[in-house]
């Protein structure tokens, strides 16, 4: 049996420990605090990957922030910006509101580009994005988050919300999955 105190056997390397993650989130929360208005901000957690990051980030903000949750995925043929599939929508009406999207990773950039546009089209007063991880080598569209905790290389990242086939999300650290696991 694995305990979470030791590195999971499927993990090649720990990139960011629990302590490193918490310290960095504290710094990013301070940036978000400075940049956002101090009332009626709605933070949207993009399920499932962002759950841990969202829970830690909002506790470090000084804003009394509203929460909402959304589950989306982007699809397309690779030549267009694609379309957004909404698997679970938010409950809040964002018209006239300042919105903070909280996402685990920006990869091709398609999901966040489409989600930001959707919220703007619904009349949000402003839409800012905070990401835990940025994988710039995989970018396919001109999209960046406003705040980001860590840049990562083109490796399979697991832990702290991020999965492979729905596994490893509950690891408290961020690591690289062994190649033999996803190539077998
Ligand atoms: C991941 C991640 C982003 C998206 C990023 O979601 O949470 O939503 O992919 O990729 P992109 O920049 O190429 O669009 P995933 O569909 O794996 O769902 P999950 O959060 O439930 O793991």
What is the crossing angle of helices 51-60 and 18-35, to 10°?
60
Give the pLDDT of residue 80. Answer: 67
Give the pLDDT of residue 145. Answer: 98
Residue 24 tokens read as 């960095």
Instruction: Supply the residue whose CA is at minimum distance from atom 20 of ligand 1.
Output: 49
Give the pLDDT of residue 3. Answer: 62
Q: Where are the beta strands (DSSP E) in the chain?
A: 11-16, 41-47, 66-75, 83-88, 98-106, 126-134, 147-151, 157-158, 174-177
Catalogue the active-site residues: 107
Looking at every residue in the chain, the average pLDDT score rounds to 94
Low-confidence ranges of the chain (pLDDT < 50): none
| Probe residue for ligand 1, chosen from 45, 52, 107 as the CB with the greatest number of ligand atoms within 8 Å | 107
Instruction: Give residues (CB < 6 A) around ligand 1.
Output: 46-49, 73-74, 103-111, 163
Give the pLDDT of residue 6. Answer: 85
Which tens digit of pLDDT belongs to each residue from 142-180? 999 999 999 999 999 999 999 999 999 999 999 999 999
Give the pLDDT of residue 79. Answer: 62
From the alpha carbon of 111, which atom of ligand 1 is closest?
A: 14
| Probe residue for ligand 1, chosen from 45, 47, 48, 49 as the CB with the greatest number of ligand atoms within 8 Å | 49
Give the pLDDT of residue 109. Answer: 95
Domains (range + CATH), the chain = 19-154 (3.40.50.2020)
Give the pLDDT of residue 39. Answer: 80
Q: Please give the model's pTM, rounded to 2 decimal places.
A: 0.95
Question: Mind giving me the DSSP string for 118-145?
Answer: HHHHTT-SEEEEEEEEE-GGG--SS---
Rounded CA-CA distance 131/144 in Å is 9
Instruction: Supply the residue whose CA is at minimum distance from atom 4 of ligand 1.
Output: 111
Give the pLDDT of residue 12. Answer: 97
């Amino acid at each position: 049996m694995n305990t979470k105190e030791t590195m999971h056997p499927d993990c090649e390397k720990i990139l960011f420990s629990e302590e490193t993650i918490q310290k960095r989130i504290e710094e990013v929360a301070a940036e978000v605090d400075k940049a956002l208005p101090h009332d009626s901000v709605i933070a949207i957690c993009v399920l499932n990957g962002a759950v841990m990051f969202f829970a830690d980030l909002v506790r470090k903000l000084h804003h009394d922030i509203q929460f909402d949750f959304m589950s989306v995925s982007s699809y397309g043929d690779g030549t267009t910006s694609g379309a957004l599939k909404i698997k679970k929508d938010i409950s809040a009406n964002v018209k006239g509101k300042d919105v903070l999207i909280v996402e685990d990773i920006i990869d091709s950039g398609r999901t966040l580009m489409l989600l930001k546009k959707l919220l703007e089209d619904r009349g949000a007063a402003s839409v800012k994005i905070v990401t835990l991880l940025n994988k710039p080598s995989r970018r396919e569209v001109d999209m960046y988050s406003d705040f980001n905790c860590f840049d990562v290389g083109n490796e399979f990242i697991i832990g702290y919300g991020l999965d492979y086939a729905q596994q490893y999300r509950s690891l408290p650290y961020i690591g690289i999955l062994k190649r033999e696991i996803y190539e077998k």
